[in-house]
Structure 1
Amino acid sequence: MRIVVAATPEVAITSLDALLSSAHELVAVITQPDKPAGRGMELTETAVSRWAKQNSQTLHKPITEEETIEILKGIDVLITIGYGKILSRAVLDVPLKSSLNLHFSLLPRWRGAAPVQRAIEAGDSFTGVTVFELDEGMDTGPIYTVKRFALDSDISSDDLFSELALIGPEALLETLDLIASGVKPTPQKSVDATRAMKLSREEGRIDWSLSAEKISAHVRAFTSNPGAWTEFRDTKIRLES
């Protein structure tokens, strides 16, 4: 099938590698435009942008919905992985077969922007990846494929992102096989849904009144983003797992 991937973060690269080496045709890669970053606020490209250039792949950084629609004309499947934009129905309907998302949780648990951190913060025993068909809701579309992953008691969000990035490609390739076979996805049960709200810098502050177990989960969940921290004598101290 003819595939376009819309992605931004480093964790998408294992899936891009798998698609590139598969029997499917990776027609193009879409990512976010370069943005100012760092102390010098220099324009910086995304990890996916670098990957596309290194692998000589057609790369797009669309600004408008009309640009995105034009890119998707004639493709079979759109796959999004942490793209960072909510796509309209007009965009989702362009691919001939489906528009998919690879989400790093066991949907409907942890719908939203920070599923990896929220799973660790909550002390979940299991998480995983879900490939589902995009609709206009926030991670509410019907599910094709789920892969579970058991959480060790000392795992950090950085480690978990790496682990889930390894099982994501298998879930995507299985889903593409299902679509080619005419299999329909299964609707989610919204009654079981939980929200993985976007992280804030203030959330990283450690509440020392919590149990040692909860403080450990807090530090492991927020170690890199937004950063776990506390204050001592008016000095901010960052903690890492």
Structure 2
Amino acid sequence: MRIVYAGTPDFAVPALQALIDSPHTVVAVYTQPDRPAGRGRKLRPGPVKQLAQAHGIPVEQPGRLRDEADQQTLRAHAPDLMVVAAYGLILPQAVLDIPRLGCVNLHASLLPRWRGAAPIQRALLAGDDETGITLMQMAAGLDTGDMLLKSRCPITEQDTAATLHDTLAAQGAQLLLQGLEGLEAGSLRGDPQDEALVTYAEKLSKAEALLDWTRRAVCLDRRVRAFNPWPVAQTLHEGQPLRLWMSELPAGQATAAPGTVVAEGPQGIDVATGEGLLRITRLQLPGGKPLSAREFLNGRSLLGRVLGQ
């Protein structure tokens, strides 16, 4: 098949690589316009664009796809199918109608749960036992199309948004190849989503990253893991932000006020919460680099301090 691929960040790279390595032909890659990055704020191509250029694939970067000129450019590529993964633009119906077989999307959740921008993080925050990838036939609207295939992934107590991101990106690449066989043969049929089961994964904000120590430890642990690698959970220490990269849930309770450091050692820094203890195992001071608890406590102590003040 002649395939147009639309994606922008790291999550979309494995699926594009799988297509490049497949018998199908990627006739063009659509990706978001280059963004300023780094201290010099120079324009930097995204990961998908870099991979496409490395393989000599034509790259299109329209700011939107509602203009007739941009839609005509897409028609000129004569795609059988358009594959979308974390592209960053909502496709109008006129675009969905251009490829012979329509457009399919790789979405990082088990639809209809967690439609929207941050499905990986919201699954972690909610304490879901599993997540996964859904290959869906795209329709007008936000992740509303029929479900073609799913691949499930358990969520462990050690998983972060970063680890799940990498796992699901790899799973998505394999699921896409499986789905392409059925689409090409005409044997793959979609199932409509049950609207009664829909939940929405709202975009993350930096404001969510500030921990409230009166919450239960289990909820705080989920936040630390969900916000790794962005926006990174944080608390205040001596009026300065202290970033918390990794945590775990030790046994035991504490009678101290929430936010009080009640124990510390090489294994971590134990903080009292509204219910239970949160053990911080990796953290970062302003201007510093992330450190293990052992490294952080070398020459300093937080014992008895109250975080969040």
**TM-score when normalising by structure 2:** 0.75
Please show how residues 78-157 of structure 1 align to structure 2 within 5 Å: 78-157=82-161
Separation of aligned partners in 1, 2:73 and 2:148: 25
Structure 1 residues 42 and 53: CA distance shift in structure 2, 3 A: same
Structure 1 residues 161 and 6: CA distance shift in structure 2, 3 A: same
1:192 has 2:197 as partner: yes
RMSD of Structure 2 on Structure 1 (CA): 1.2
1:172 has 2:176 as partner: yes
The structure 2 residue matched to 1:230, chosen from 219, 226, 235, is 235
Separation of aligned partners in 2, 1:197 and 1:157: 15
1:47: which partner in 2?
47
Asked if the contact 1:68–1:91 (Cα under 8 Å) also holds between the matched residues in 2, the reply is no
2:62: which partner in 1?
62
1:158: which partner in 2?
162
SS at match of 1:203: helix
Q: Which runs of 5+ in 1 are unaligned?
A: none
CA drift at 1:223: 1.6
The structure 2 residue matched to 1:240, chosen from 225, 230, 245, is 245
2:211: which partner in 1?
206
CA drift at 1:203: 0.7
Separation of aligned partners in 2, 1:21 and 1:40: 35
Specify which structure has the bigger relative contact order, considering alpha-carbon pairs within 8 angstroms and separated by 6 or more residues.
1
* 1:116-169 CA distance string (max 9 Å, x none): 011111111110000101111111110101000111111000000010011101
Structure 1 residues 67 and 164: CA distance shift in structure 2, 3 A: farther
* 1:42-80 CA distance string (max 9 Å, x none): 211111111111122111112342344223322111111
Structure 1 residues 67 and 46: CA distance shift in structure 2, 3 A: farther
SS at match of 1:19: helix
CA drift at 1:39: 3.2
SS at match of 2:241: strand
1:71: which partner in 2?
73
Q: Which runs of 5+ in 2 are unaligned?
A: 247-309
Of residues 49-58 and 152-161 in structure 1, the stretch that sits farther from structure 2 once superposed is 49-58
Separation of aligned partners in 2, 1:80 and 1:69: 16
Higher helix share: 1
Asked if the contact 1:62–1:68 (Cα under 8 Å) also holds between the matched residues in 2, the reply is yes
Structure 1 residues 79 and 68: CA distance shift in structure 2, 3 A: farther
Separation of aligned partners in 2, 1:200 and 1:166: 26
Percent identical across equivalent pairs? 40
2:7: which partner in 1?
7
SS at match of 1:118: helix
Quick one: which amino acid aligns to residue 97 of structure 1? L
Quick one: which amino acid aligns to residue 216 of structure 1? D
Greater Rg by CA:
2
CA drift at 1:233: 2.5
Separation of aligned partners in 1, 2:166 and 2:141: 27
* 1:74-106 CA distance string (max 9 Å, x none): 211111111011111111111111201100000
**TM-score when normalising by structure 1:** 0.96
Separation of aligned partners in 2, 1:16 and 1:213: 37
Separation of aligned partners in 2, 1:164 and 1:71: 31
